Structure 1
Amino acid sequence: MARKRILITGAAGFLGSHLCDRFIKEDFDVIAMDNLITGDLRNIEHLFPLENFEFHHHDVSKFVYVSGNVDYILHFASPASPIDYLKIPIQTLKVGSLGIHNLLGLARSKKSRLLIASTSEVYGDPTVNPQPEEYWGNVNPVGPRGVYDEAKRFQEAMTMAYHTFHGLETRIVRIFNTYGPRMRLNDGRVLPAFIGQALRGEDLTVFGDGSQTRSFCYVDDLVEGIYRLLFSDYSQPMNIGNPDEITIREFGEEIIKLTGTKQKMVFKELPTDDPKQRRPDITKARKILNWEPKVGRAEGLKITYEYFKSLPEKEINHKDFTYYNNK
């Protein structure tokens, strides 16, 4: 029996590479696509020798061609950290608009099922906690985060239009804060930033008073949720994340304890539009997918810390970035 074929965009990124691993494990033919603007080939180089894996160096904001049949498409191509989408705002908007248009066209021509990676950022700085899928959000379209937030909101709207107008099989996952091996230590997100500062013996930088909350989902749990959603019959947006909420201050204390460092936390001004709360309502995922996170934060952080400790010293000591608490 012939293997099913799946195209994964953003395949050399943090989440994309873990999805490549999962679908290789499930005996799919995996077509990986990435323009490497934020991705890293080291994340998928272990897959290159496999006969059921192929890599295409391509920007999905330009016309996308794949020969042969394609059964499924996962669209994960997009800058996802603040340092990236503040540095490359136009590319961020293009991959969420031109990119999704190209992939929807491909899915329609190939009769593929398409799953898009949306984000908790569509909720903006929420006035509801936890955030259910029915919440429309509180987003500033012209603020510094608007290029990412609105790209993802447009991507959802475009996907639903193809679903309702063309009858295309689509799935939408709203991803909440996720962590694990292959995160970039200098990508601007609070978890790798805290660990990086601890490894360098620096104080941990907290923006605001540290009372803002986040909830962190280990990457293996997220991948399992995405896998179940892809093969479900549910076409509306679905939250996938860990509802175990923690303040940034408490999280900093956990990192200090985990790393055994003697640093303290220092506080700086909160960035514009930084969300005060971030926690998923996963009622739908529990009911429809029979999914909920299994990996506790203590276990996941230990694995992630060991990964970061194993990085080359030059990566650990690279500090040419700004980070925000918002991811």
Structure 2
Amino acid sequence: MRYANTKKVLVTGGAGFLGSHLCEKILDQGHEVLCVDNFFTGTRRNIAHLIDNPRFEMMRHDITFPLYVEVDEIYNLACPASPVHYQFDPVQTTKTSVVGAINMLGLAKRVKAKVFQASTSEVYGDPEVHPQPEEYWGRVNPIGFRSCYDEGKRCAETLFFDYYRQHKLPIKVVRIFNTYGPRMHPNDGRVVSNFIVQALKGSDLTIYGDGSQTRSFCYVDDLIDGFLALMETGPEITGPINIGNPGEFTMLQLAELIIEMTNSSSKIVTRPLPPDDPRQRRPDISKAKALLGWEPTVPLRAGLSRTINYFDHYIRN
């Protein structure tokens, strides 16, 4: 039975790292979840604990094809988000961001649903402004190896705001900064999962460049709370809004911390910096604080401890 205040919520990319945590939180709120994923990077393991929940439904589907369902809200998270995965099939990555956005926006328009777009800090490229506010237009190479993801997400934002202006569609756009936590893909090439897996296995930790480039790391629970806070706002708040942790660390600092926390004998080795790799990345979260009352609460060391425990269990099993 569905109660009057129960929503049917579609989460695309719902079997992925972020999507699975979002599905979990929405179910905890008492709503129904339709999880859609093509399992390119998502895994059944991420949602196995949700399958028996009567308010959870799983559908295998690629959002580059239209989807005909009846829902009240849509969270569009579908897209490979790490360079290893989005560069594997760059044309499909662009199609997922652009055609997928068109399909989700079309669905939202038909069923009159509020629709959420998971955008990215990659829209800022290799920034000349630091930290990055939402008003900054970015510095992106349109023809580089990362462009399929960067420009695909930028185009998706364009589509969302054109649907908002042209069709009065209620939209919410979040720009996600580096996020980590349990259920990250162990082979996705992202720095936190890379370092933890390497340290647990006693392998060398690979740093690209001299390790002085910086990132800001947000624990997944904080990020999902930011998603939900934005979705609950009125129609006048559309975003884009940065969601991330403004604490800034160099790659070298992160590697040393993970070696210490895992009590690993791993060494740090360097490799050439990949093309168009941003030198620094840190969110200005003033808007999130002012409009959503949101800011991250989980310190890096505490979040890493939970993530290390997850990967330690994952590797052993």
Shorter-chain TM-score range: over 0.9
Tell whether the 8 Å contact from 2:243 to 2:283 is kept in structure 1 after alignment: yes
Does residue 28 in structure 1 map to residue 26 in structure 2?
A: no
Q: Map 1:209-288 to 2 at 5 A.
A: 209-233=210-234, 234-288=237-291
What is the root-mean-square deviation in Å for CA atoms of aligned residues?
A: 0.9
SS of 1:44's equivalent? helix
Report percent identity of matched pairs: 52
8 Å Cα contact 2:73/2:115 also seen in 1: yes
Instruction: Indicate conservation of the 8 Å contact 2:36/2:61, yes or no.
Output: yes
2:190 is aligned to 189
Could you say what secondary structure the match of 2:314 adopts? Answer: coil
| Ranges of 4+ aligned residues in structure 1 off by more than 6 Å | none
In the TM superposition, 1:67-216 aligns within 5 A as 68=70, 70-216=71-217
Counterpart-to-counterpart distance in 2, 1:228 and 1:236: 12
Contact 2:79/2:96 (8 A) holds in 1: yes
CA distance in 2, matches of 1:200, 1:119: 31
Encode CA deviations 1:6-48: one digit per residue, 9 max, x unaligned: 1000000000000000000001110110011111011112111
**Does the CA-based 8 Å contact 2:198-2:266 persist in structure 1?**
no
More divergent stretch after superposition (176-185 vs 1-10): 1-10
Alignment partners' CA distance in 2, 1:301 and 1:272: 28
Structure 1: segments with no counterpart, 5+ residues: 315-327
Q: Measure, in 1, the Cα distance between the counterparts of 2:273 and 2:197.
A: 20
Q: TM-score, normalised by structure 2?
A: 0.97
Task: Work out the CA distance in 2 between the residues paired with 1:248 and 1:116.
Answer: 29
Distance 2:248 2:103 in 1: 37
1:11 maps to which of 8, 14, 25? 14
Q: Which residue of 1 aligns with 2:292?
A: 289
Partners of 1:202 and 1:35 in 2: CA distance: 32
Q: Is there any run of 5+ residues in structure 2 with no aligned partner, and where?
A: none
Aligned positions of 1:34-53 closer than 5 A: 34-53=37-56
2:275 alignment partner, SS class: coil
From 306, 310, 316, the counterpart of 1:307: 310
TM-score by length of 1: 0.94
Which AA in structure 2 matches 1:186? N
